[in-house]
Amino acid sequence: MNESKGSPTPVFTKFGERCSEELVKQDLVDLAAGTLSAIRVKGFFSKKLCTEIMENLQTVELGEYDQQVVSPRIAKLGPAAFDYYIDGGIGEEYWDHRDQSNEVRSALAKEIDPLVLAMEKISDCWGADVKKASMDGRPLFSGMIREINEGARIHFDEIERELPNGLDDTPVVQLAFNCHLEMPEKGGEATVFRRRWMPHDEDNRDGYGYSYDLVKDQPYVSVRAEVGDAVIFDPRNYHRVEPNKSRGRRVTLSFFIGLTADGMLEIWS
């Protein structure tokens, strides 16, 4: 029997952050492949646009996630799909909330709905139109405005575990997009761990959050964004948002991006 005398094949960890001045398709591909931890795109939105959105947001009454499930409090404009999960589908109240929220968000900037602008930029990068994900032919809400000032606990997001085969086009990859409309001077980083959910993790779950013990020895990155920057990562990895450490609000335009089997991108919140 022949025995190999060569060197072991190297294994590259590849979990670094990519920072650029514009969104690049290959970066999205690398992120989907798991060889990047996060992408930070500087100036994805102009500071002028962010200021306009935040000024108009002052007149909007924000809702929140159910604090019995999600704590600390996270204020938001728009419905999250999982808020309405029932019997393998989504409750009817969701669709009215979707329409109302789309109308409010579209009025936050005079020239263009912030979501439409984000979709156009991602479409230009990918080389094909981004569409809204749907259930039974009905487009889901996309483009939530979220305010996270006290941090968000360690958790993961994966719609195929939350609602298996719920979307009309099943995503084979799920990414999270956040464009930062306002940021505190300190704090508010997104920390992503190179660790995905395993069934026994449920023993370390409290509400929607998980124990730090699950990720304490795992590689991670913490991405600090400035106003106008977009940060994209794979939310199937455990992640958290660090609390603000100075005055100011941490407000983002947020949605998920799914890569389907035919290579198209779809979004939802």
Per-residue pLDDT band for 6 (boundaries 50, 70, 90) equals low
pLDDT in tens, 71-104: 778 899 999 988 888 877 899 999 999 999 999 9
AA letter at 72: P
Q: Regarding the domain delimited by 16-268, which CATH topology (the fold level of the hierarchy) does it fall under?
A: Jelly Rolls (2.60.120)
Residue with more model confidence, 35 or 11: 35
What is the rounded average pLDDT of the residues 180-185? Answer: 98
Q: Where are the domains of the chain?
A: 16-268
Instruction: Kindly tell me the sign of the dihedral angle through the C-alpha atoms of 241, 239, 255, 85.
Output: negative
Query: Going by C-beta distance under 8 Å and a sequence separation of 6 or more, which residues neighbour residue 80?
Result: 65, 144, 269
Name the residue type at position 227. V
pTM score, whole prediction = 0.94
